[in-house]
Structure 1
Amino acid sequence: MPDKPARNRNFFVTEAETPDIDSLRAHLEANNGLKGLDIVEPGNIARAVKIFRRDGFVVIADVLNEEQTQFLANGCNEVAAEILALDTQRNGNRGSHRYSFGGSSLTRSQLHRPEWQMMLDIPVVNEVVTAIFGSSDYALRAASGDFCLPGALGYQPLHSDVGDWISNTVSPFSAFHDPRGHVTVRDLPCPYVCVNFLPQEITRLNGPTRQIPGTQHSRTPIPTLEEEPEWMRLSTVCPAPAGAIMVRDVRAWHGGTPNVSNAMRAIPNLEFYAPWFREPIVPGISYQDHSKLSARAQYLTRFCVADSSETLQTGATLWAP
């Protein structure tokens, strides 16, 4: 496996403190999960938005039907198999046994896949994202997500998926900057929403995402793994049913957790920018495939489509360019 690029180093975690797997499994079974997790029905968008604004995330059940859920699960399994064929040691690209669907694609996206394209036309997703942004004029950033395998025993450090401007020598994906130093991206209305789809149940044992409620506006430094209290490690979004979505303000602190189940856990996603916010976007769908999408999906992906003269190279990689 090639050396890890410097831009990804903060996603990696050693497993020196990982306890015996049987003890870890028993501890998670007894203690893992947010107490009183609110799971909203798809008809109550107003309540979903209220929880989202309070906590920085919300779970909405019964968004995908059984056929859609299985179609998405099959697609995740196919993509994961392509990625894992390149990594027989299961080193991962987000930590051991942990992978990004976008970071494992030559286009940084899975938008060329029909399963991710399907997610663009789910009515509840459009309703809740429109309500969050106060406008339907938002745009897709990428179609990505992540998966973790049994054997992902470490905790991914808590992090946020968007921040203030940094030099493009460090990352090309950076935009917001107040030269006066008065306003940070955390002081703004939500600029960037991630919608994770659940093609399988999320349990206490299969690597549920941990979310720290109410941190989307916090300027407090994010704690390291060594500083993080135990309650944060157990602040995971579970149990949550297959077919649900988890809608996240990506500024809120979150991170991966151990998968001590016997199956892969996948959370494919769609990532959306508010109408007034943009960072650089990498093309993720060919002009020809884009023309086959519904009118609404074409509009959402208007910044993700390659030029008609370009051939979009797709495929699996361990490190996206």
Structure 2
Amino acid sequence: MTPQSLRETAGSDRTLDTPTVAALRANLEVNNGIKGLDILRSTDTRRAVELFRRDGFVVIADALNDEQVEILATGCHEVAAEILALDKDRAGNRGSHRYSFGGSSLTRSQLHRPEWQMLLDIALVTDVVTAIFESPDYVLRAASGDFCLPGAVEYQPLHSDVRDWCDPATTPFSAFHDPRRQVTVRDLPCPYVCVNFLPQEVTRLNGPTRQIPGTQQSRAPIPSLADEPEWMRLSTVCPAPAGAVMIRDVRAWHGGTPNISGAMRAIPNLEFYAPWFREPIVPGISHGDFRKLSERAQRLVRHCVADSSEPLVTGATLRAR
């Protein structure tokens, strides 16, 4: 897609022209980004695992080639267009101008899309995730991610993507429970990895994810936006090149940041459970499409397959994730 078509998909927002946003832009252009951020080469698997275990995330360049970047970018913008057609006011479902690819899908996943299926066979991801779990027998939870538009001028609160068991009325997606109340999910080895793929460069201005290093096993309360120190707001994973991956321990504190650029920023993902960890999984791929996948990909998605006797109903929704 051309830069113009990307802008048309994202839409425009006059809030980008306010004095408040001008001041924010000036600050981010100078100060945004983790100082000394390591961006590894695709051959440095051992170092990737070390940084992942130290910081709760790692960034690796060159995971996707130019053709794969183009395919993924096109798919992200096609899905975004379907979602945005339902939300003329850009209210979002993860905050204003922010959307979850999974939360905006009737299947809670984009695994039915060929662009996300392509990601199942990226050799670098297989190598690093296998090394993190010290086993190839991990499984796919979902194929999701998020995108934000120009006009997402607010910070998303810091949060974690996994929790100890809670009432199913709150969320059906929680499982770990110690009845003695001595061990939490944060005391475990990493149970759940998210791999975000970058179909465009992530810059200081287009909504880079902020990651708070070393928080994946912290039991400290996550600060609210009002209490969050400035250094945390600027602890963002940027700049990072198109084609890179950001591999995250989902327990680590993270959150969205303002997109005050001229285009949409997307970070589609694959989410994996450790071989020994499970939470409920929603079917995301039809049996027919499953059979077209590589043998390795079939093993990864074996818990995500719809019954062969039932059609997989796909489409966009604005349901909150």
Aligned position for 1:203: 203
Kindly indicate whether the alpha-carbon contact (under 8 Å) linking 1:107 and 1:320 is maintained by their aligned counterparts in 2. no
CA RMSD of aligned residues (A): 1.2
Aligned position for 1:212: 212
Aligned position for 1:84: 84
Aligned position for 1:192: 192
**Residue 75 of structure 2 aligns to which amino acid in structure 1?**
G
Instruction: Indicate how the Cα distance of structure 1 residues 269 and 150 shifts in structure 2: closer, same or farther if over 3 A, else same.
Output: same
Aligned position for 2:229: 229
Provide the TM-score with structure 1 as the length reference. Answer: 0.94
Instruction: Indicate how the Cα distance of structure 1 residues 320 and 235 shifts in structure 2: closer, same or farther if over 3 A, else same.
Output: closer
**Residue 187 of structure 1 aligns to which amino acid in structure 2?**
D
Cα shift readout 1:97-144 (whole Å, capped 9, x = no counterpart): 000000000000000000000000000000000000000000000000
**Residue 62 of structure 1 aligns to which amino acid in structure 2?**
D
Instruction: Indicate how the Cα distance of structure 1 residues 320 and 292 shifts in structure 2: closer, same or farther if over 3 A, else same.
Output: farther
Cα shift readout 1:250-287 (whole Å, capped 9, x = no counterpart): 00000000000000000000000000000000000000
> Helix, strand or coil for the counterpart of 1:20?
helix
Work out the CA distance in 2 between the residues paired with 1:257 and 1:250: 17
Work out the CA distance in 1 between the residues paired with 2:112 and 2:29: 37
Aligned position for 2:255: 255
Work out the CA distance in 1 between the residues paired with 2:181 and 2:43: 41
Residue correspondences, number: 305
Aligned position for 1:123: 123
> Helix, strand or coil for the counterpart of 2:213?
coil
Instruction: Indicate how the Cα distance of structure 1 residues 251 and 87 shifts in structure 2: closer, same or farther if over 3 A, else same.
Output: same
Deviating above 2 A after TM superposition, structure 1's stretches of 4 or more consecutive aligned residues are: none
> Helix, strand or coil for the counterpart of 1:75?
helix
**Residue 124 of structure 2 aligns to which amino acid in structure 1?**
V
Aligned position for 2:98: 98
Aligned position for 1:157: 157
Shift of 1:169: 1.4
Kindly indicate whether the alpha-carbon contact (under 8 Å) linking 1:106 and 1:320 is maintained by their aligned counterparts in 2. no
Shift of 1:320: 6.2
Work out the CA distance in 2 between the residues paired with 1:205 and 1:319: 27
Shift of 1:35: 0.2
Kindly indicate whether the alpha-carbon contact (under 8 Å) linking 1:105 and 1:320 is maintained by their aligned counterparts in 2. no
Work out the CA distance in 1 between the residues paired with 2:228 and 2:72: 34
Provide the TM-score with structure 2 as the length reference. Answer: 0.94
Aligned position for 1:58: 58
**Residue 119 of structure 2 aligns to which amino acid in structure 1?**
M
Work out the CA distance in 2 between the residues paired with 1:63 and 1:196: 11
Name whichever of 30-39 and 311-320 sits farther off: 311-320
1:265-280 alignment runs, 5 A limit? 265-280=265-280
Matched, 1:305 2:305: yes
> Helix, strand or coil for the counterpart of 2:299?
helix
Instruction: Indicate how the Cα distance of structure 1 residues 164 and 311 shifts in structure 2: closer, same or farther if over 3 A, else same.
Output: same
